[in-house]
Amino acid sequence: MASLFRTARRAQPALTRTIARPSTRLAPIALYRQYASAAASVAVPSSGELPFFPDEPAGPTVATAIPGPKSIKAIERLSKVFDTRSLNMMVDYQRSYGNYIADLDNNVLLDLYAQIASIPVGYNNPSLLLAATSPEMASAIINRPALGNFPQHDWADILETGILSVAPKGLDQVFTGTTGSDANELAYKAAFMYKRQQQRGGAHVEFSEADINSSMNNQSPGAPALSILSFKSGFHGRLFGSLSTTRSKPIHKIDIPAFDWPQAPFPMLKYPLEEFASENAAEEQRCLEETERLITTFHAPPAAVVVEPIQSEGGDNHASPSFFRGLRELTKKHDILFIVDEVQTGVGATGKFWAHDHWNLTSPPDMVTFSKKAQAAGFYFGNSELRPNKPYRQFNTWMGDPARAILFRAIIQEIDRLDLVNSTAATGGYLYAGLDRLAKQYPSEIHNLRGKGQGTFIAWDSPRRDEVLKKAKTVGINVGGSGEKAVRLRPMLIFQKHHADIFLEGLEKIFKS
């Protein structure tokens, strides 16, 4: 544990006084309890790289079947009061550390799923623990402000030193929310209000009596016949507006009323990319042409196009930077907004802080939504006209959460301190090369390997995907799937080459079984 305290002190010296109190008071239990790494001696990786978590386990430990007897008992108890049918594993977070996730039965797994891509810098990260025990955090938690009406006095400072310090190029404002679905819905509302504001002649033009009266009856013009164009296999959330743009799986949508909004085809590329360059270019052009047709002919004209840089839940579907540049040009040509959904791809996972940085756009997106690894949520924008022309139009009680914004600031500082975006890019290249070797050795197991040059945002199609995911736990690995047949990798930004070696070795054991 001494190394953990040293790591924490190096991370944020100004905050060390927040843990200099008796362990029976406010110091988090994770700072003085025994981690699951106790049974695993600290080892210097053969790669020679300096571990980000020096006292992390040297490797996985599989002590029982998963779930084991203690986990089964806990699941049975939980199932009486909570739906456990989607449960992956019962976790002991106080014993999880760094890249390793622990359960109640002394199983410790290398985690390449990271809570559905949402843990950025490791379990019980010392720097985040310090931020979590600061007086600033305590105030934000116990006095949670209704930010629209009663923002705390230092809210601007929290935003400027955190969320806005990593704003995408050209976007210098933010509207904060609570979840990824919420972030997208807020962006959609901004798009609709902006479009109608344009149609009326500007922000200064008052609503007509027809606007006001018809809106209360869910009729036009107050409830206009506008839409958001999304893409087949895309995922943007599970609230009503975001769900209407989600097209990944029927289970998300069945029985839920939906808006009649258009969906364009997303390119289905062939792999290896270098062998199908002409076919893939033609596929992307086809999708762009169909997108333009929908923009210009759909009965409810789109106010915006929303797209993921990589379709994550829908199967890890990729497209080239050229496709996204073409999409941006279409939105400019037809005067509609371009929303990039970076809920899963943002905050360093692709080897860039924002995945759309890979595209080299000539003009930035109009809005970029974020959540997951940010721990906070919302959307970035640059055009002040995307603020509604009157108060209370984009509004709810919380309008975000200062506690989560403070945590995101600590995450940003940790990413910068350890240079984790560049590290993820390098580790991703190493991991992809290892998977490419396995794909050649076991061609029946790894199909359509994709994600080269995209950090650790890597996936492949497996003919026995669910079996592979289940067997992964038996060799000490927690990994997830996407779409119908993809195995997707979503490790944390602290995932390093020696972790990749452990994963690749475990994966080969599965393929041999």
SS3 250: helix
372 in active site = yes
398 within 8 A of 144, measured Cβ to Cβ: yes
Catalytic residue among 18, 291, 323, 372: 372
SS3 238: coil
SS3 261: coil
CA-to-CA dists, residue 186 to 236, 251, 396, angstroms = 12, 24, 11
| Sheet bearing 459-461, strands edge to edge | 447-450, 459-461, 486-488, 480-482
The secondary structure element, H or E, covering residue 185 is helix 180-200
* Sequence letter at residue 466: D
Angle at 413 between CA 411 and CA 419, to 5 degrees: 100
* Straight-line distance from the first to the last Cα atom of the chain, in angstroms, rounded to the nearest whole number: 38
Catalytic residue among 53, 192, 235, 495: 235
How far apart (Å, rounded) are the C-alpha atoms in residues 337 and 366?
6
Catalytic residue among 172, 260, 335, 397: 397
How far apart (Å, rounded) are the C-alpha atoms in residues 93 and 216?
47
Tell me which residue has tokens 């492949």. 460
The secondary structure element, H or E, covering residue 324 is helix 321-333
How far apart (Å, rounded) are the C-alpha atoms in residues 411 and 128?
7
Count, in order, helices (H) and strands (E) of the chain. 16, 14
How far apart (Å, rounded) are the C-alpha atoms in residues 258 and 103?
39
How far apart (Å, rounded) are the C-alpha atoms in residues 306 and 339?
5
- According to DSSP, the residues that pair with 369 across neighbouring strands are 341, 379
Q: Report whether the peptide linkage leading into residue 28 is cis, meaning its omega lies within 30 degrees of zero.
A: no
Tell me which residue has tokens 């819905």. 185
How far apart (Å, rounded) are the C-alpha atoms in residues 503 and 438?
12
String of DSSP letters for 44-86: --TT-PPPSSTTS-SS-B--S-SS-HHHHHHHHHHHTTS--TT
341 in active site = yes
Catalytic residue among 341, 366, 401, 461: 341
How far apart (Å, rounded) are the C-alpha atoms in residues 103 and 90?
6
> Among 427, 498, 503, which Cα is nearest to 46's?
498
Q: Which residues are catalytic?
A: 235, 341, 372, 397
